[in-house]
A and B are shown apart, each in its own frame.
Chain A
Amino acid sequence: MTERSKKPARVRRLGPGPLVGLLFLLPAAVLLGVWVVYPIVYSVVRSLFDAPGTGFVGLSNYGTLLGDDTTLYTIIHNLWWVVLAPVVVTVLGLVFAVLTERIRWATAFKLIVFMPMAISLMAAGVIFRLVYEQAPDRGVANAVLTTVASPFSSEGYPDARPRESDALTSRDGAIVTTAPAQPGQPVLIPIVGIKQQNMPETARPAAPAAPAQGGGLAGTVWFDFSPGGQGTSGQIDAPERGLPGMTVEAVQDGRVVASATTADDGTFSLQGVNGPAEVRLPKENFSAAYSGVNWLGPAPVFAPELGLSIVTLSIVMAFVWVWAGFAMVLIAAGLAAIPRDALEAARIDGASEWQVFKKITVPLLSPVLVVVFVTMIINTLKVFDLVYIIAPPSVQPQANVIALEMWRVSFAEGDQGLGSALAIFLLLLVLPFMIMNIRRFRREAS
């Protein structure tokens, strides 16, 4: 017996009668009885009735729960949450707790990472709606991605097409000359359909190309469009500008024999080409520049049947942002409590730091890690606010979770029979952890 459980027994001689104890308990008992215990019973019964609550339907609401695609996928989404979020939060918490022992500004770091715990999930949801905005010039996530990716992706001319004529045609996304170009003849490639924002600032007025040295092909790729409809189609007119940075290839017998990039005035020169060759602007010229990830989109990550969409991953990341600080602080406290002797002894025996970490630190931390992990499982099972706020209405079916579906079914659609079944289902999911808590408490008390 610990001292804690001995004490109440010792004062029994002096303590008040049982009636006083029950009196102290009364307000809490009434509130818990009416608002928590009675609803559990009510929900069990209500889940056996139909939507209006008049017809007894047995377990058919539970059949709908597992048989209907909407609710089934809702449950599957929750499973993904349970698989992903607790592991990530616990591992990050461990990493942060370990790394903060290393830096001088640990207190500041902990405050920053822990801060999201204080704010509402509603506010966190708004914060991440802003982070995940699709346009790279508004959403910071895509701004970072496109900036990182920009050296690797060329500035393209999406939707560009050749000026309609017999000389040029589109093939598999590329623009090619219909007849092989002859050396000595300037190759004119007029392009239309370029949007103002895709026009590079470096573009200069288009110019006829100087003949290529050594008998190659030379020509001009330009934007064959004059404001006000002036100018002649297929001819380089005064205000028309060249299209810089365009890749041009010479193709003979299906093989690329030379390639060049257009200058600021749109001219190019393909040297070392003997005889006529097809001139091609490969399709890479016309793909849109990388614009980031559609964070809140319904696109599946794996096969669609597996039910994991990008939007779910994005919301899980927001969840990790909120909870990593919780894990870090608990684990850091656990780290601080590890006896130094055991670690020193292992080091003297020649264990490497990694071995010490893996064989001693982590096992000694395991009770804390389990607490964090289990708390996160319970939180992921109950997750509601973040999904409701972050997922745009049109994508909510792909992001839906049990707690949200329960609210939606019960209060937006008005089927409180199915809603009660969902609530009971949620209760059943957390039941193992309830039993775990009771066991742990009894073990600690005895």
Chain B
Amino acid sequence: MTAHADHAGAVRRGPVGRLADAVGGGLAQAVMLLIGLFWLVPTLGLLVVSLRDESVNAAEGWWTVFTKPAQLTIDSYSSLLATGFTASFWNTVLITVPTTVLVIGIAAMAAYAFAWMTFPGRDVLFLVVVALMIVPVQIALIPIAALYGQLGVFGSISGVVLFHIAFGLPFAIFLLRNFFAGIPASLLEAARMDGSSEWRIFATIVFPLAKPAIASLGIFQFLWVWNDLLIALVFADTDSQPMTKALQSEMRQFGTNVDIIAPGAFLSLLVPLALFFAFQRYFVQGMMAGSVK
């Protein structure tokens, strides 16, 4: 989003900006306003529905709130928190935070090896990592469910975390390896001549230098895991279930459970939204690094 600051100004109008000039500035404004509304209104609807009584929601559309703001109440939220939804919130945190930290650590080590060390089969192995980036998680559901059954970790938080880590690694290694490869060789050579151990170089030089890349990766990884439903659906049980799974179990009676689902869904997206607004620069950079390069 910052990439655009330079030609949003009047002097260096973008190439296609001129096309839009031809179309007509007023029309473009109106169309954009309409599109913006189209993107904003659905989420606004969820927020209002979550802030009204069940009976009010059943009787009339959420947009009547503009004429009857007095109907707003946080009753749905307080009754949701009384049902034990808090437990699933903490499960989400307990799954997401360790996964994110471990993916960054493990991927950074592997990425360092791929970028700055030589060992037999290095290039082929890296191509395997590139290939694994788009393997669908479906492929592992049945085998890992069988494995967890034998190991007795089925339904545990650690089982969910390990699954997430493994499927987060290919993208993470790919992104960090490309960033590490851009670190000036002279820095590492100097450290190696000084006799620093590889671990020391990794931990004190490479890792700190990679902060921007790690921030991008961390946000992406965090959001993926926080927002996951499928893996939780298969590997978590009612004690370890994150918010997504807890909400899903209410979906079957959507109409009658909307007073639980709406506040729950809104609570579940508060943390991602806060992260997104706070770190949108890293978010965009991570997306570019992952898909364009």
* Bound together: yes
A residues whose Cβ falls under 8 Å from a Cβ of B: 4, 7-12, 14-16, 18-22, 24-25, 27-29, 31-32, 34-40, 42-43, 46, 96, 98-104, 106-123, 126-131, 137-140, 143, 321, 324, 326, 329-330, 332-333, 335-336, 338, 340, 343, 353-354, 356-357, 360-361, 368, 371-372, 375, 378, 381-382, 384-385, 388-389, 392-393, 403, 406-407, 410-411, 416, 419-420, 422-424, 426-427, 430, 433-434, 437-438, 441-442, 444
Could you tell me which residues of chain B, from 12 to 29, have a CB within 8 Å of some CB in chain A? 12-22, 25, 28-29
What residues on B are CB-neighbors of A106 within 8 Å? 4, 8
CB distance from A257 to the nearest CB of B (A): 45
Q: Are B46 and A102 in contact (CB under 8 A)?
A: no
**With A113-B36, A410-B141 in contact, is A102–B28 under 8 Å at CB?**
yes
Q: Is B39 an interface residue (CB 8 A)?
A: yes
For this complex, 6 residue pairs linking A to B, each with C-beta atoms less than 8 Å apart, are A35-B166, A99-B32, A114-B1, A118-B275, A140-B45, A335-B15
**With A127-B45, A332-B4, A444-B293 in contact, is A115–B167 under 8 Å at CB?**
no
How far apart are the CA atoms of A120 and B240 in the complex, in Å? 19
Segment at the interface with A among B71-79, B82-90, B129-137, B210-218: B129-137
How far apart are the CA atoms of A137 and B64 in the complex, in Å? 10
Q: Are A103 and B29 in contact (CB under 8 A)?
A: yes
Q: Are A103 and B28 in contact (CB under 8 A)?
A: yes
What residues on A are CB-neighbors of B173 within 8 Å? 28
**With A28-B173, A333-B288 in contact, is A122–B43 under 8 Å at CB?**
no
Q: Are B61 and A138 in contact (CB under 8 A)?
A: yes
How far apart are the CA atoms of A422 and B139 in the complex, in Å? 9
CB distance from A394 to the nearest CB of B (A): 11
Among B132, B227, B280, contact of A111 (Cβ-Cβ < 8 Å): B280
CB distance from B253 to the nearest CB of A (A): 10
Q: Are A43 and B142 in contact (CB under 8 A)?
A: yes
Among B20, B60, B181, contact of A102 (Cβ-Cβ < 8 Å): B20
How far apart are the CA atoms of A356 and B17 in the complex, in Å? 12
Could you tell me which residues of chain B, from 257 to 279, have a CB within 8 Å of some CB in chain A? 258, 261-262, 265-266, 268-269, 272-273, 275-277
Q: Are A35 and B144 in contact (CB under 8 A)?
A: yes
Could you tell me which residues of chain B, from 133 to 152, have a CB within 8 Å of some CB in chain A? 133-136, 138-147
What residues on A are CB-neighbors of B14 within 8 Å? 101, 335-336
Q: Are A138 and B142 in contact (CB under 8 A)?
A: no
Among A38, A140, A426, A438, contact of B131 (Cβ-Cβ < 8 Å): A438
Q: Is B112 an interface residue (CB 8 A)?
A: yes
Q: Is B127 an interface residue (CB 8 A)?
A: yes
Q: Are B291 and A375 in contact (CB under 8 A)?
A: yes
